[in-house]
Every structure is written in structure tokens, then in C-alpha cells.
Amino acid sequence: MSSTVPLMPNTDALWMPFTANRQFKAAPRLLVSASGMYYRSLDGHEVLDGTAGLWCVNAGHCRAEIAEAIARQSRELDYAPGFQMGHPLAFEAAARLVRLMPAGMDRIFFTSSGSESADTALKIALAYHRARGEAQRMRFIGRERGYHGVGFGGISVGGIGANRKTFAANLMPGVDHLPHTHDLSQAAFSRGQPAWGAHLADHLERLVMLHDASTIAGVIVEPLAGSGGVLVPPRGYLERLRALCDRYGLLLIFDEVITAFGRLGAATASEYFGVTPDIITLAKAISNAAVPLGAVVVKRALYDTVISAASPDAIELFHGYTYSAHPLAMAAAIATLQLYEREQLFARARSLAAQFENAAHALRGAAHVRDIRNLGLMAGIELEPLPSQPGARGYEVFLRCLERGVLVRYTGDTLAFSPPLIIEPAQIEQLFGTLAETLQSIS
Ligand code: PXG
């Protein structure tokens, strides 16, 4: 970590994302370095990272192997065009990624973010149906409280009202939504997957009746919804979605931007739940967030269908990004995947999950807590909102925890925990212990 003390910069020029800019700039919170489980703040405090950045730094911060791979690559090949040209690391990264994916899902399209992955997945689904001669399958079914990034495709299938309302007039047409699965009267304080709620998948059947299967391209859900408040899928729910998609010829897209790479103790949520979709979107921990990177994983049959529908010399999919398979991102991904394997971090997450669950659920009965949800190394603790001030209590708890040296996320009044998978048992206790103290101290 740097020994010189950085100064508070002038904050005027930056328009910050998903941030209350004026509130932040009145009292900025700056992080200046990081290592392993900890950030260091501008004012010199260590902060335990209870969120792996934004659910993305699964191997912990500033890992030397990843940093070195990026530095080496930046000197050797900084950039190579990805259209009609290639470089070896792109193929190597794709091949390595395939080894972690469910059997048969072995074709990879690289993007630079989860938002790009979501929009790419939707476009691939459309291209697939068109290639099969069913171009009229253009509708998508998303889910309330779902988050699929901030592209127009992603906010259209997404189900977070605040992210949609400003742009409502220009959302993608032909989108409908399943109900979310959150119902405190039925499933509050469930440990792991709630026993209640599998029947909510049957709303897909209702939507198929309404729109007709022949107009629907696919269904996109997060297997476990993160940003919407850590909503764990009810037992049997994903299985039912899969069966209905099969029955009606709909592609099932799992947005695994948060859930992949060990968060649940397996390489993917698909593997963890034993439900294989047709398309998986990835980002975040794919490169340990050290360089922006996303990917879309598709079943071989989908790839083959799209590829073989075009004449042999033709571009099969008119889609891609300047930074698809960027050499630095490829180097970071390869080093990251090697690190996950060498340190067996997915198994580590699995072995810590029971302690994590117990530590989270120990807050049952603490002041203001109205629900606790968890799976793997992910937990959501939902607080009673302050009267007519939704989100205010979540924000206050976030601030007070930060003062106590622990970074948590809040989404509305739900606190979200998703630490790096290298977390130590004592740090798990610190995480939830700090929250317990904080809850006791606020009104
Ligand atoms: N899909 C899912 C499931 C996500 O969680 C995205 C897509 C978009 O990824 P990009 O890389 O375009 O941001 C995400 C991102 C939070 C939070 O605290 C969550 C995300 C991003 C920022 C904050 O809930 N998820």
C-alpha cells in the first residue's frame, strides 16, 4: 500500500453512477488502496470489504498473480482488433471458461460488462430463433426486481422501477415480467432456499397463454436476484421455469453476473441448483474485476444454429465490441481462473457457507430486522424502513458500519453481504457483529 497520504481531490467534474452526487460530494468517501480482504480509505482507515467491491472481487484485492499478468500483457500486446483478427489469449480464456460451465455450454462471446452481456444474450436469442426460421419470436419475459444492467435491453427485461421510469418511453417493446418471489408473509427468515414459492414459476404459463409461445424468444432471470435485494429462489422454482421453457420452446437465460465464480460454492448457480439454462451471462468475478470483462456462454446447439444459417464466408452475427476479448482482460481472466483453481476458492466458499448462514441469522431478533436471506456467501438483511423514508435506514446503517470499518452494500433497506471468498471465519463474525452493534446503536 502507498505510504504517501493522498489529498482529497476536487470532486466537481465527475458525474457519479448510481450515487446521490450532492450528498456524496458534501462528505466524500474515498478508497485509495486495497489488499486481500481490506480497503484503505483516504483518511487512513482499514475497511473490511463485506461486499467484494460490487459483488466482483471474489479472490480478494490486488492479487499479485493477476496484477502481474495484466502488467505483463500491457507490455506485450496492449490491444488487438477482435473483428476479423484474433490473439491467442482470447481463445485460451474461452477454453478455460468452458471448463467451468455446465456440460454442453461451450461457446463464449466476450463483452466488457454485465450490461453488455445481458444485451448480447438477448440479441443472440433473437438471432437463434431467426436462424431457425422463427423470427417472430421476439418477446422476452423478465422478472420483477430483476437486474440485468443498464443497457436499454437490460432495463427493459429488468424489473427495478427506479431504473426504468426515466427512460420508460424508450424501453424495448414486447417485454413482460414474471412476479418476483419475495413474500415475507410466507418465507421470512428462511435459511437457504425458501420452501414456499415454486408455484410462482407457473406465471410463465399464464404469460405464454397471453402472448402465445410462438411470439416469445426467451426468459431471463437471475437464478438468485442480487441487486433486487438478495432474493433466493424457492425450492423447485428454477426447475419449473426450465420445464416450462422446454415445453414452449423458449430459451432460458440465467444472468449469473453475480452468482458465478464461487459465490454459491460452485462455478455457477446453474451447477449449484442443477438447472442448466441455454445462455449464461457473466461479468464481475470473471476477471476478479481487475479489468472490465463480461462474457456470454451459449449451448453449442445455439451457436451451431446461428453459424450454420449464414453462408460459409459471411459474418454470422452482426454484433461485437471494440473491447471484446481485450488482451488485458483476457490476461486477467486467465490469471483469475487459475487462482480460483489453485486456491480452491469455490470449495472454500462452500465450506464457509454454514458459518456464514449462522452468523447472518444470529441477527434475527436484532432491532429493525424484518428478514434475513442467505445462500452460499451471500446474505441479505432486510430492515424495517423508516416511516415514509424508504432507503434512509439502509443508508444510515451503511454509513455507521463504514465508520466501524466494515463496508456493506445497501439496496433500499436491504443490506447485502457478499465478501471475497478468501474471507476468514473471524472476519465473518466481524462483519455481522459490526452490523449487530450498529443496529443496536441507531434509533
Ligand atoms: N446483471 C446482474 C445480475 C448484475 O448484478 C449486471 C448485470 C450489470 O453489470 P455491469 O457490469 O454492467 O454493471 C449486474 C451488475 C449492487 C450492484 O450493489 C449490482 C450491480 C452493479 C452495481 C451495483 O446491487 N450488478
Q: Which domains does the chain have, with CATH numbers?
A: 21-59+343-441 (3.90.1150.10), 67-342 (3.40.640.10)
Average pLDDT over residues 192-218: 98
CA distances from 239 to 198, 204, 265 (A): 9, 13, 19
pLDDT of 443 reads: 77
Cβ neighbours of residue 327 closer than 8 Å, sequence gap 6 or more: 73, 76, 77, 78, 79, 80, 87, 89, 90
* Local structure of 290: helix, strand or coil: coil
DSSP string, 146-204: ----SSHHHHHH---HHHHGGGGGGSPSSEEEE-----HHHHTT-SSS-SS-GGGGGHH
Sign of CA dihedral 308, 311, 315, 317: negative
Q: pLDDT, tens digit, for every residue of 387-424?
A: 999 999 999 999 999 999 999 999 999 999 999 999 99
Residue percentage of the chain with pLDDT more than 90? 98
Average pLDDT over residues 208-223: 98
Residue percentage of the chain with pLDDT more than 70? 99
Measured from the Cα of 151, ligand 1's closest atom is: 12
Q: Is 115 in the pocket of ligand 1 (CB under 6 A)?
A: yes
- Is the pTM higher than 0.95? The answer reads yes
Q: Is 54 in the pocket of ligand 1 (CB under 6 A)?
A: yes
Cβ neighbours of residue 203 closer than 8 Å, sequence gap 6 or more: 178, 179
How close is the Cα of 227 to the center of ligand 1, in Å? 7
Q: Distance between CA atoms of 259 and 428, rounded to whole angstroms? A: 19
DSSP string, 351-377: HHHHHHHHHHHTTTTSTTEEEEEEETT
Q: Which residue's CA is the closest to the ligand 1 atom numbered 19?
A: 227
Residue 414 near residue 383, CB atoms below 8 Å: yes
Q: pLDDT, tens digit, for every residue of 378-395?
A: 999 999 999 999 999 999
The owner of cell 505510504 is 3
Q: Is 228 in the pocket of ligand 1 (CB under 6 A)?
A: no
Q: pLDDT, tens digit, for every residue of 166-185?
A: 998 889 999 999 999 999 99
Average pLDDT over residues 334-341: 98
Residue 299 near residue 104, CB atoms below 8 Å: yes
Residue 118 near residue 157, CB atoms below 8 Å: yes
pLDDT of 173 reads: 96
State residue 47 phi and psi, 5-degree precision: -125, 120
Q: pLDDT, tens digit, for every residue of 236-249?
A: 999 999 999 999 99
Q: pLDDT, tens digit, for every residue of 79-119?
A: 999 999 999 999 999 999 999 999 999 999 999 999 999 99
The 3-state DSSP composition of the chain as helix, strand, coil percent (nearest 5) reads: 40, 20, 40
Q: Is 258 in the pocket of ligand 1 (CB under 6 A)?
A: yes
Mean pLDDT rounded to a whole number for the chain: 97
pLDDT of 6 reads: 78
Q: Is 114 in the pocket of ligand 1 (CB under 6 A)?
A: yes
Q: Which helix (H) or strand (E) holds 347?
A: helix 345-361
- C-alpha cell recorded at residue 82: 477482435
pLDDT of 169 reads: 85
Q: Is 119 in the pocket of ligand 1 (CB under 6 A)?
A: no
pLDDT of 4 reads: 66
Cβ neighbours of residue 199 closer than 8 Å, sequence gap 6 or more: 240
Instruction: Answer whether residue 1 shows pLDDT above 60.
Output: no
Cβ count within 10 A of residue 76: 11
How close is the Cα of 148 to the center of ligand 1, in Å? 7
Residue 224 near residue 231, CB atoms below 8 Å: yes
Q: Which residue's CA is the closest to the ligand 1 atom numbered 15?
A: 149
Q: Is 226 in the pocket of ligand 1 (CB under 6 A)?
A: yes
How close is the Cα of 57 to the center of ligand 1, in Å? 13
DSSP 101: S
pLDDT of 3 reads: 56
* Local structure of 55: helix, strand or coil: helix
Average pLDDT over residues 33-48: 97
Q: Is 227 in the pocket of ligand 1 (CB under 6 A)?
A: yes
